[in-house]
Structure 1
Amino acid sequence: EAEGDKKKKDKKKKKGEKEKEEKEKKKGPSKATVKAMQEALAKMKEEEERAKREEEERLKRLEELEQQRLEQERLEQERKEKKKQKEKERKERLKKEGKLLTKAQREARARAEATLKVLQAQGVEVPSKDSVPKKKPVYGDKRKKKPTAQTPEETSEVASPTSETPEPVAMETEAETAPVKPDVAIDDWEAIASDEDKGDLKYYCSTNETAAAPQPAASEEEEEEDEEEDEEDEEEEDEEEESEEEEEEEEKKEEAPAVQTKRKGARESEDDSSESEEDDGRTKEERVYDRAKRRIEKRRAENLKNIDLDRLRAPVVCVLGHVDTGKTKILDKLRHTHVQDGEAGGITQQIGATNVPLDTIVEQTKMVKNFDRENIKIPGMLIIDTPGHESFSNLRNRGSSLCDIAILVVDVMHGLEPQTIESINLLKQKKCPFIVALNKIDRLYDWKKSPEADVVSTLKKQKKNTKDEFDERAKAVIVEFAQQGLNAALFHENKDPRTFVSLVPTSAHSGDGMGNLIALLVELTQSMLARRLAHCDELRAQVMEVKALPGMGTTIDVILINGRLREGETIIVPGVEGPIITQIRGLLLPPPLKELRVKNQYEKHKEVSTSQGVKILGKDLEKTLAGLPLLVAHREDEIPVLRDELVRELKQTLSSIKLEEKGVYVQASTLGSLEALLEFLRTSKVPVSTHNASCFCPAQCFTHKGAFPHPDEVFAVILAFDVKVERESQEMADSLGVRIFSAEIIYHLFDSFSKYREDYKKAKQDEFKHVAVFPVKLRVLPQFIFNSRDPIVMGVSVEAGVLHQGTPLCVPSKGFVDIGVVTSIEVNHKTVESAKKGQEICVKIEPIPGESPKMYGRHFEATDIIVSKITRASIDALKNWFRDEMQKSDWQLILELKKTFEII
């Protein structure tokens, strides 16, 4: 029973709990939930109110800005109205004063002057300003009536003048009625009157006779044109000054020739008035210069505004890397993809560049997985084929590199080498995106090549030991990149190409990974660099090289990035002695599928457009400087503006180069290679006194030699980088004692110069070792006196400086007595060359030849300090040839001894 009661109680308890739970459910949400909901609602309400307030504030700001804009427009309109009114008044005033002349009036005036000159030459009296200042018109009227009552004598005297004179005089009176000051002109005619024959007289009179008739019509036209001009002034809103108005007229002339002919007269009168205008204080040349400058800036702004993102140009790709990493091999592999019957399939080798067309890109990337070959937007690739890092600094245009993306070739077996690191620094400096070709993977032990497959698949198929070796070497390269401050990852593992540099395993020898390299280049350029590669009409061209072609003269190789070049255009190119202005006589491109070595390999083109390597023919190109942009002048007045632009750019480039009073002479083929070499010498602490970027000529030996008084000067050296040194130059340099070092690789040049400098220094040290005396201060150890006289052998402690064999010693406290020269130094019974501060040594001091030997105990004591005997010559020798062996404390001791020996 007890158990039954217990079960009943449990059942009741469970039932009660269930009822309780059901009641709680029916009650609804708890207080905490309600509170949270209320808070959320309040928050939402606050957010809505805040958003509403912000919107109201924004609308209020917009209204204020609109009001400001309207107010500015109103003020601008008022200003323009005032300016127009002022201009109109000025023109009226000039017309009244007779200073505003139309073309017709100027011509009439010139004709009148010419006629009067002839009349004066024939002896006809023309009244001067003083004699009849006001009666000129009357004089004209009288002459009109004269022919009726003319005597036979007068007729015979001036037969031809009198029959033809009335017209010129009538014309002259008309010219006077229009506001002209003939009195001033008469003085001029009198002053410059000269004898001319009668034939000249007839010529002038006949021309005046024909031109005099339509004179009134011309003056009517003038008035109409002036009215038209005033109307135009009122219509033009953007008018700032007359030169601008003239420019707008010129632009309209190009668009609508009909309008141009109609407004010709108006523009001429305008031009004339602007000539007479001296309000702005500028000369005519300055106004023309400013107008051309504004036009160029406007054209550039419009071209940059009208870029076409749907049309992409071919990207310019630079190949960088260490000399032996295989970058040339990669380019060869790209060029000779399908070598059939000795022809390079589909790839044309251009000047300084390899042009890879779209068909070849599709063909080469056919084995690459996950690559959309159907939607390639770029028309091809232009791969700059120039050696090493030097070319990269060469490729720049207004401070930014012409190179769009770079391939950095790294040898997987050697990792990052010094020149590779220099290339990385250049890329970082130019902020140029790049991918890494991890080349020579075929050198890995037991590598099985498979050029027709994706490189990722090829890696997976390799044996375990080969794959492990690759992983190990790839990780080592990634670590080396990290040391240079760059994140790197294998391209198929790279999820973020903007942050991580992609490494593509390649083998230029077997062809593995070449397709992946091109596919990655295409993907990155058309996704990340789409805006940079957008089609633009603004010209961007770089002078790459200056070459002489047989039968064609000097030509320049140009990389054309954007815009187009046409035959006959005026170009401005940088030159050694300043910008060169010339016309394009021919644009040459190699024909497709032809080897460059074949004769007549170039085809002439009338026009060349975007992303091409082109050879330009022209006059005076011999002294062109490679490495700077080429500019095109569309009009003659633009030439000075563009010339100044190039001069500024060249100055800016060379201003960063610090020259020393004494240093080497640096010669390079291009401005880019010169910059690279100077930067290298700066980091290597080699001083440069002069530099030049052009071909080598013998005169430079003379120029450089002039800086050196002695032929054995260490800096009587010319470093010629990538420059051919002619035999004549070499002979002249040898005769002058100037050394020429030439090399095509910066490191070779520097190594040869460093070796020369070391050998020179060693020779000089041997020469001056008896003159140079190192500073030293010695204290005698009295317990170690082995011999007191001839030779003195004793123990000493080096208190300061360095003791070398051959150092002359003296005792300043005993009247600078010379005790001899150190001939031997021993430490622990071993002979040494020198002893430093703090060492206790035994020295053998022999007397100076020709002097009586000095004795310890008589000439000096143990309490006396012994010092080296220095002179001005010894200090100079130390400064010039032993500076590297001296410490700071040694120089301080030199200063102390100078005071002791009273050396100036």
Structure 2
Amino acid sequence: ITQQIGATFFPISTIRDQTKDLYRFLNQTMAAKIPGLLIIDTPGHESFANLRARGSNLCDIAILVIDIMHGIEPQTIESIRLLKAKRTPFIVALNKIDRVNNWNSTKNLSFRLSLQNQPPEAKSDFNTRVAHVIAQLGAEAELNTQLYYKNKDFRKYVSIVPTSASTGEGISDLMMLLIQLTQKYQGKKIGVKDHLECSVLDVKKSESLGNTLDVVLVNGELREGDSIVLCGLYGPIQTTVKVLMTPKPLRESRVHNDFVVHKHVKASAGIRIAAPGLEDAVAGTSLLVVDPSNETAVNEARSIVQSELTSILERVKPKTTGVFVHASTLGSLEAILHFFNTSDIPVAFAGIGPIGKNQMLQASTMFEQKPYNSYPERRVILAFDVKVSEEAKEMAEQAKIPVFTADIIYHLQERFKNHVDSIKKTLREEAESKIVFPVVLNILPDFVFRKKSPIVLGVKVVEGSLKVGTPLLALKTLESQVFIGKVVGLEVDKKERNEAHIGEEVCIRIEQHAKEHQVLYGRQFDHKNQLVSRVSSQSIEALVE
């Protein structure tokens, strides 16, 4: 599962080369009017709706990936809901066909040609799985779907393209369909516009260039020397573009380091920008170009970009006794706050970027507040897809503040849940050691085996529950009792037990502390006295907790 948006450009020359065998099979020729495809890869986790929302805002058509072996999952439903809400056209890539039973893979072959080469058992398994996915999409997502080459009405049915990311099978079918649908049904919509639309995907540090931005330019143009405004952790950032770079075709901006330098870049493109003062830039926000001489326009731009961060941080309630959260991007932070809110995990502080000395000092100060004495399980730092410095780790160890890191949100939630369960178990065990449950016992006079410590006798539980560890009093009167010791053993039919309940007759062993005045059966108490548990105020408080 990825947690950031990445971009890869596929030039039309590459697409033409990849689809030539398919077009030959179909006896058609490619009529491409576009320069290529910019593929934006977004996270698959269902809690990244906000990050995906930014991605879908950037796109003309979407590819919804479904694993043919597993069918639809929660994130599939969430993605369909999001795409429908934004009225974004999409096709389904039914991935991992190479795992179909007895499938014979041929690298980079079109699906139509690959299917012809399959044995009967592979075709049968494939058809069964496709039918299952189509039925799932209809029942759970209210979506009409059909294999793309059987689809006679693209407006009524969503096309399914079987693919394998591992072997490259079906990728040519996918490319062909993307170009055909966008050119046929979207027309002017896919044309590049003059006004700038640019989103920051990630903030990276380069040894040669310092801090850089990975952005997606959807519309407009960026030039070397442009004055840009973007969101910063501590306020708007205004700086000047020093270097513009794009990954070589088929290289992803999120991963690879093989770039080409440009003086200017036109949309659409994935771009890496080098500029001063980017260390506090917030990924997942808008980037605007301004005229530095127009003060009104600059101030308006600064207000626009910063409002994106402000709207997210306003969801955090600083006075809440909650956890300390840091995430890598604004989208990640937005998603994790939404996920924690639905999981009933209170957040007292949320930030973006790595965790170092300053963040640890801030967390330590926050956790020293008195309300945290009642919620020790919330004295924890949750770091999502961010680095924690060695100094910060040492500080956390000294302050006994757990720091949980993960790059998959479920793992972070699971670690926090295990931490909470462990804390609560320890507190419960401590409380149980102090708790004395009410109990009333009648002594069975025919079953008195030992009259001095350890006293051994038979009793019947009249009220409440008797547990090992219960301190007992012998009632003389309501105002007068004799402490006879603590139950250290309990047997029924010569079998050890930890507790006994109303109506049960059991044999108990009662020990007295050596320093205490020794109480003897038959002298200070006998079968005429009921035995009751000694319940202290401390025990009542522990029971309430």
TM range (shorter): 0.7 to 0.9
Match of 2:537 in 1: 871
Query: Shift of residue 627 of structure 1?
Result: 0.8
Question: Partner amino acid for 1:383?
Answer: I
Separation of aligned partners in 2, 1:760 and 1:616: 46
Match of 1:95 in 2: none
Question: Partner amino acid for 1:796?
Answer: V
Match of 2:101 in 1: 445
Match of 1:747 in 2: 410
Given that residues 406 and 435 in structure 1 are in contact (C-alpha distance below 8 angstroms), is that contact kept between their aligned partners in structure 2?
yes
Query: Shift of residue 825 of structure 1?
Result: 5.6
Residue 727 in structure 1 maps to residue 390 in structure 2: yes
Given that residues 798 and 840 in structure 1 are in contact (C-alpha distance below 8 angstroms), is that contact kept between their aligned partners in structure 2?
no
Structure 1 range deviating more: 568-577 or 594-603: 594-603
Residue 692 in structure 1 maps to residue 351 in structure 2: yes
Residue 859 in structure 1 maps to residue 516 in structure 2: no
Given that residues 797 and 841 in structure 1 are in contact (C-alpha distance below 8 angstroms), is that contact kept between their aligned partners in structure 2?
no
Residues 578, 522 of structure 1: CA spacing in aligned structure 2 closer, same or farther, 3 A cutoff?
Answer: same
Question: Partner amino acid for 2:508?
Answer: K
Match of 1:796 in 2: 461
Given that residues 792 and 856 in structure 1 are in contact (C-alpha distance below 8 angstroms), is that contact kept between their aligned partners in structure 2?
no
Match of 1:489 in 2: 145
Match of 2:171 in 1: 514
Residues 407, 567 of structure 1: CA spacing in aligned structure 2 closer, same or farther, 3 A cutoff?
Answer: same
Question: Partner amino acid for 2:409?
Answer: I
Structure 1 range deviating more: 808-817 or 361-370: 808-817
Query: Shift of residue 630 of structure 1?
Result: 1.0
Provide TM-score, normalisation by structure 2: 0.80
Match of 2:242 in 1: 585
SS state at 1:401 partner? helix
Separation of aligned partners in 2, 1:780 and 1:860: 6
Given that residues 572 and 580 in structure 1 are in contact (C-alpha distance below 8 angstroms), is that contact kept between their aligned partners in structure 2?
yes
Match of 2:18 in 1: 364
Match of 2:469 in 1: 806
Separation of aligned partners in 2, 1:856 and 1:415: 73
Structure 1 gaps of 5+ residues are 1-321, 329-350, 880-904
Given that residues 546 and 624 in structure 1 are in contact (C-alpha distance below 8 angstroms), is that contact kept between their aligned partners in structure 2?
yes
Question: Partner amino acid for 1:503?
Answer: I
Given that residues 487 and 499 in structure 1 are in contact (C-alpha distance below 8 angstroms), is that contact kept between their aligned partners in structure 2?
no
Query: Shift of residue 461 of structure 1?
Result: 4.7
Residue 353 in structure 1 maps to residue 7 in structure 2: yes
Question: Partner amino acid for 1:358?
Answer: I
The structure 2 residue matched to 1:571, chosen from 206, 228, 234, is 228
Separation of aligned partners in 1, 2:141 and 2:70: 19
Deviations 1:478-497 (A, max 9, x none): 45545643435342455555
Provide TM-score, normalisation by structure 1: 0.51
Residues 471, 555 of structure 1: CA spacing in aligned structure 2 closer, same or farther, 3 A cutoff?
Answer: same
Match of 2:209 in 1: 552
Structure 1 range deviating more: 666-675 or 519-528: 519-528
Match of 2:311 in 1: 652
Query: Shift of residue 839 of structure 1?
Result: 7.7
Matches within 5 A, 1:367-446: 367=22, 374-385=30-41, 388-389=44-45, 393-394=50-51, 396=53, 401-416=57-72, 432-446=88-102
Given that residues 542 and 560 in structure 1 are in contact (C-alpha distance below 8 angstroms), is that contact kept between their aligned partners in structure 2?
yes
Question: Partner amino acid for 2:302?
Answer: R
> CA RMSD for the aligned pairs?
4.1
Separation of aligned partners in 2, 1:477 and 1:715: 42
Separation of aligned partners in 1, 2:492 and 2:462: 11
Deviations 1:331-386 (A, max 9, x none): xxxxxxxxxxxxxxxxxxxx941101222223323315669754434432111245
The structure 2 residue matched to 1:602, chosen from 249, 253, 260, is 260
Separation of aligned partners in 2, 1:424 and 1:573: 30
Query: Shift of residue 721 of structure 1?
Result: 1.3
Residues 693, 405 of structure 1: CA spacing in aligned structure 2 closer, same or farther, 3 A cutoff?
Answer: farther
Given that residues 677 and 746 in structure 1 are in contact (C-alpha distance below 8 angstroms), is that contact kept between their aligned partners in structure 2?
yes
Match of 1:844 in 2: 508
Question: Partner amino acid for 1:563?
Answer: G
SS state at 1:686 partner? coil
Question: Partner amino acid for 1:676?
Answer: A
Separation of aligned partners in 2, 1:598 and 1:749: 27
Match of 1:251 in 2: none
Separation of aligned partners in 2, 1:740 and 1:443: 39
Given that residues 826 and 841 in structure 1 are in contact (C-alpha distance below 8 angstroms), is that contact kept between their aligned partners in structure 2?
no
Question: Partner amino acid for 1:680?
Answer: F
Query: Shift of residue 791 of structure 1?
Result: 4.0
Residues 814, 573 of structure 1: CA spacing in aligned structure 2 closer, same or farther, 3 A cutoff?
Answer: same
SS state at 2:335 partner? helix
Identity %: 36
Match of 1:150 in 2: none
Given that residues 10 and 250 in structure 2 are in contact (C-alpha distance below 8 angstroms), is that contact kept between their aligned partners in structure 1?
no
The structure 2 residue matched to 1:671, chosen from 327, 330, 337, is 330
Question: Partner amino acid for 2:418?
Answer: K
Query: Shift of residue 706 of structure 1?
Result: 1.4
SS state at 1:714 partner? helix
Separation of aligned partners in 2, 1:543 and 1:725: 23
Query: Shift of residue 752 of structure 1?
Result: 3.0
Residues 538, 762 of structure 1: CA spacing in aligned structure 2 closer, same or farther, 3 A cutoff?
Answer: same
Deviations 1:696-720 (A, max 9, x none): 2211111111123489933332111
Match of 1:633 in 2: 290
Deviations 1:710-754 (A, max 9, x none): 899333321111112222222222222222222222233333333
Separation of aligned partners in 1, 2:494 and 2:43: 59
Matches within 5 A, 1:769-784: 769-773=432-436, 776=437, 778=439
The structure 1 residue matched to 2:422, chosen from 734, 759, 774, is 759
Given that residues 771 and 873 in structure 1 are in contact (C-alpha distance below 8 angstroms), is that contact kept between their aligned partners in structure 2?
yes
Separation of aligned partners in 1, 2:280 and 2:130: 47
Query: Shift of residue 692 of structure 1?
Result: 0.3
Separation of aligned partners in 1, 2:233 and 2:327: 12
Separation of aligned partners in 2, 1:795 and 1:469: 67
Residues 845, 478 of structure 1: CA spacing in aligned structure 2 closer, same or farther, 3 A cutoff?
Answer: farther
Separation of aligned partners in 2, 1:411 and 1:592: 27
Question: Partner amino acid for 2:57?
Answer: S
Separation of aligned partners in 1, 2:424 and 2:362: 25
Query: Shift of residue 819 of structure 1?
Result: 6.7
Between Structure 1 and Structure 2, the one with more helix by share is: 1
Separation of aligned partners in 2, 1:803 and 1:429: 61
Given that residues 785 and 794 in structure 1 are in contact (C-alpha distance below 8 angstroms), is that contact kept between their aligned partners in structure 2?
no
Given that residues 810 and 869 in structure 1 are in contact (C-alpha distance below 8 angstroms), is that contact kept between their aligned partners in structure 2?
no
Question: Partner amino acid for 1:604?
Answer: H
Separation of aligned partners in 1, 2:324 and 2:7: 31
Separation of aligned partners in 2, 1:868 and 1:591: 80
Residues 593, 428 of structure 1: CA spacing in aligned structure 2 closer, same or farther, 3 A cutoff?
Answer: closer
Query: Shift of residue 561 of structure 1?
Result: 0.9
Separation of aligned partners in 1, 2:319 and 2:109: 57
Query: Shift of residue 413 of structure 1?
Result: 2.6
Query: Shift of residue 611 of structure 1?
Result: 1.2
Separation of aligned partners in 2, 1:835 and 1:434: 65
Between Structure 1 and Structure 2, the one with more strand by share is: 2
Deviations 1:539-570 (A, max 9, x none): 21111111222232222111111122233332
Question: Partner amino acid for 2:11?
Answer: P
Separation of aligned partners in 1, 2:248 and 2:119: 46
Separation of aligned partners in 2, 1:391 and 1:772: 45
Separation of aligned partners in 2, 1:793 and 1:714: 44
SS state at 1:544 partner? strand
Residues 549, 662 of structure 1: CA spacing in aligned structure 2 closer, same or farther, 3 A cutoff?
Answer: same
